[in-house]
């Protein structure tokens, strides 16, 4: 079959760093072509070249579309041909409606005036195509992330998309929303729309891809025709990281000591709906050298629990006691929590964990300025030394500590966040989705760092939506549902089935209690 798109010998560099090296890439009509590789392998750079984000002249090589060489000056040129990119950070305006977001740049008009009836009608048609039932005038802020992703796809369809580029589209979605999105790509394939899927989730890639291309260090290192070849995750991983991962998780011998943190009767209410109790009288113990996982479905209260411990960064009417090394701790504010020895690594590193425009040096030291200051003035030499030490210790890949943090790959950004909090010398680290959006090679390095922290006698709490991850790195797993712990398993005894059974059992009990409350209130049995 003749290729709809060919990228030939594409090379691209930034400030002397070679991001792409003679990469060739082809896409056929109606093909789902997956692009995989470690963070920093060049996937997003290649797609930004294709979509005109990096204009012709800023790279070497050529782009051939429909048999004709194209030189895109900007993203408008590529969109005019139906090449649409949806970035990992969605480009929607929260306080505008679905219809306004879809047709913001190209609204239907009559005699120079926006035709609102046409906007509403066309939006309804597009939403039906992507499987959304929401009214066109629904505000984006009232939609979940999964539905917002579908709005982005509807916006692409409004521009007569022929090649849809999706950069980590399921990174922030739950399993149900991810499955719905993948089904939509399969439906587009039947309509002749090609998709380029950038993803670290190899199980999803294997499920839908017709072809898989693997990049490593800016080069194409493998290409798999899924229609004729067997898809082997080990082969993909080996190509991505240039080594065998006989074990996905590093081994360690746990030496667990005395309790480092004890939480008693911890209760937290919602900051806006103050009558709603989100964390319900929780008791929790963490020991020195121990890695404890917290499992649970979205909305179980895991993040709220961790943030409320970190200086009451979330919630209101917080009550209960926390003891660190046997002494009651003051956690009344974030600075107090840091001084007490608690650190929290947020699940949203880009928005809440880092200053992307600042360099690595500033991000590493920002929570520990007293350590690199003299009489309230930052000592540049001390700051440089501290940041350089953590760059070496954490194996952060960057040109130097003066490089902008936003230019680093996701895995290296996560190492910068960890460095920031390790510099505060915490006794307890609360890690919320510490490997979200990073590749298998970088994940292994993060797991190794977690092991090193535990071996140094720190207590580590890992919140993760990936059960295999919890099963692979944790000494103990606590199961959370509806703001309470509903199960606990030793790491060697835990299974995905046991964890889900604990969650579902609690759901049934909660349902029965709700039915009893309705009956007592005179509502009768449902």
Spatial contact of 331 and 324, defined as CB atoms under 8 Å apart: no
Alpha helices (H) in 301-432, listed in sequence order: 302-309, 334-340, 360-365, 380-393, 410-422
Q: Do the Cβ atoms of 214 and 36 come closer than 8 Å? A: yes
Rounded CA separation 211/205 (Å): 9
The pLDDT, as a whole number, for residue 204 is 86
49: which residues sit within 8 A by CB, 6+ positions away? 7, 10, 12, 20, 59, 63
Single pTM value for the model:
0.64
Q: Sign of the C-alpha dihedral, residues 339, 340, 345, 346?
A: negative
Task: List the one residue out of 167, 228, 158, 224 whose CA is nearest residue 195.
Answer: 167
The answer to whether 337 and 324 are in contact (CB under 8 A) is no
Nearest-5° Cα angle at 484, 483 to 488 = 135
Whole-angstrom Cα distance, residue 215 to residue 19?
A: 11
256/241 Cα distance (integer angstroms)? 32
The tens-digit pLDDT sequence of the chain (526 residues) is 578 999 999 999 886 678 899 999 999 999 999 999 876 788 889 999 999 999 999 999 999 999 999 999 999 999 999 999 988 777 889 999 999 999 987 788 887 888 888 999 999 999 988 888 899 999 998 888 778 888 988 888 888 889 999 988 887 676 777 888 888 899 889 989 999 999 878 888 888 999 999 998 889 999 999 989 888 887 887 888 765 555 678 888 889 999 999 999 999 999 988 999 999 999 999 999 999 999 987 678 999 999 999 999 999 999 999 999 999 999 999 999 999 999 999 988 888 899 999 999 999 999 999 999 998 899 999 999 999 999 999 889 898 999 999 988 888 899 999 999 999 999 999 999 998 877 777 788 889 999 999 999 999 999 998 888 899 999 999 999 889 999 999 998 998 888 878 877 765 455 444 444 434 444 443 3
Q: How far apart are CA 217 and CA 241, in angstroms?
A: 10
Instruction: Confirm if 136 and 98 have CB atoms less than 8 A apart.
Output: yes
Per-residue DSSP letter, 389: H
Residues shown for the chain: 526
* Residue 56 to residue 54: CA distance in whole angstroms: 7
Q: What is the pLDDT of residue 181?
A: 85
Which domains can be identified in the chain, with CATH numbers? 5-241 (3.40.50.300), 259-341+426-515 (3.40.50.300), 356-425 (no CATH)
pLDDT at 1: 58
By the 8 A CB rule, do 98 and 137 touch? yes
- Return the axis-axis angle of helices 440-455 and 410-422, rounded to nearest 10°: 10
The answer to whether 136 and 120 have CB atoms below 8 angstroms apart is yes
Alpha carbons within 13 A on the beta-carbon side of 489? 24
What angle, rounded to 10 degrees, do the helices at 233-241 and 440-455 form?
A: 80
């Amino acid at each position: 079959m003749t290729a709809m798109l060919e990228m030939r010998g594409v090379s691209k560099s930034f400030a002397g760093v070679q991001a792409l090296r003679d990469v060739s890439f082809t896409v056929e009509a109606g093909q789902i072509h997956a692009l995989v590789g470690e963070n920093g392998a060049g996937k997003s750079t290649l797609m930004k070249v294709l979509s005109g984000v990096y204009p012709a002249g800023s790279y070497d090589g050529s782009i051939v579309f429909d048999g004709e060489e194209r030189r895109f000056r900007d993203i408008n040129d590529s969109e005019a041909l139906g090449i649409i990119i949806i970035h990992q950070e969605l480009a929607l305006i929260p306080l505008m409606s679905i219809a306004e977001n879809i047709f913001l740049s190209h609204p239907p008009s009559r005699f120079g005036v926006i035709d609102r009836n046409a906007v509403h009608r066309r939006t309804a048609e597009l939403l039906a195509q992507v499987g959304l039932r929401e009214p066109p005038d629904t505000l984006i802020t009232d939609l979940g992330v999964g539905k917002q992703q579908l709005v982005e796809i509807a916006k692409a369809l409004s521009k007569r998309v022929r090649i849809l580029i999706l950069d980590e589209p399921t990174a922030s979605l739950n399993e149900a929303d991810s499955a719905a999105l993948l089904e939509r790509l399969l439906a587009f394939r039947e309509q002749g729309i090609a998709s380029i899927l950038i993803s670290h989730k190899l199980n999803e890639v294997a499920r839908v891809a017709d072809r898989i291309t693997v990049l490593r260090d800016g080069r194409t290192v493998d290409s798999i025709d899924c229609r004729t070849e067997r898809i082997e995750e080990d082969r993909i991983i080996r190509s991505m990281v240039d080594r065998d991962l006989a074990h996905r998780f590093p081994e360690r011998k746990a030496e667990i000591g005395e309790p480092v943190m004890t939480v008693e009767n911890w209760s937290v209410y919602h900051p806006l709906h103050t009558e709603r109790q989100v964390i319900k009288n929780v008791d929790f113990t963490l020991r020195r050298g121990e890695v404890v996982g917290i499992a649970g479905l979205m909305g179980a209260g895991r993040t709220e629990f961790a943030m409320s411990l970190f200086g009451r960064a979330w919630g209101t009417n917080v009550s209960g006691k926390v003891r660190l090394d046997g002494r009651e701790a003051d956690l009344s504010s974030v600075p107090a929590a840091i001084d007490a020895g608690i650190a929290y690594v947020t699940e949203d590193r880009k928005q809440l964990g880092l200053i992307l425009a600042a360099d690595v040096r500033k991000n590493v030291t920002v929570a520990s300025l007293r350590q690199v200051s003299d009489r309230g003035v930052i000592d540049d030499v001390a700051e440089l030394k501290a940041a350089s030490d953590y760059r070496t210790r954490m194996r952060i890949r960057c040109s130097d500590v003066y490089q902008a943090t936003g230019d680093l790959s996701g895995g290296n950004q996560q190492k910068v966040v960890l460095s920031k909090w390790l510099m505060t010398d915490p006794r307890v680290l609360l890690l919320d989705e510490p490997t979200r959006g990073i590749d298998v090679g970088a994940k292994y390095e993060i797991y190794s760092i977690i092991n090193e922290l535990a071996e140094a006698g720190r207590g580590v709490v890992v919140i993760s939506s990936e059960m295999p991850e919890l099963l692979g790195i944790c000494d103990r797993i606590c199961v959370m549902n509806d703001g309470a712990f509903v199960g606990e398993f030793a790491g060697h005894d835990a299974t995905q089935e046991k964890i889900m059974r604990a969650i579902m059992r609690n759901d049934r009990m909660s349902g029965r209690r709700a039915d009893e409350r309705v009956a007592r209130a005179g509502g009768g049995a449902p």
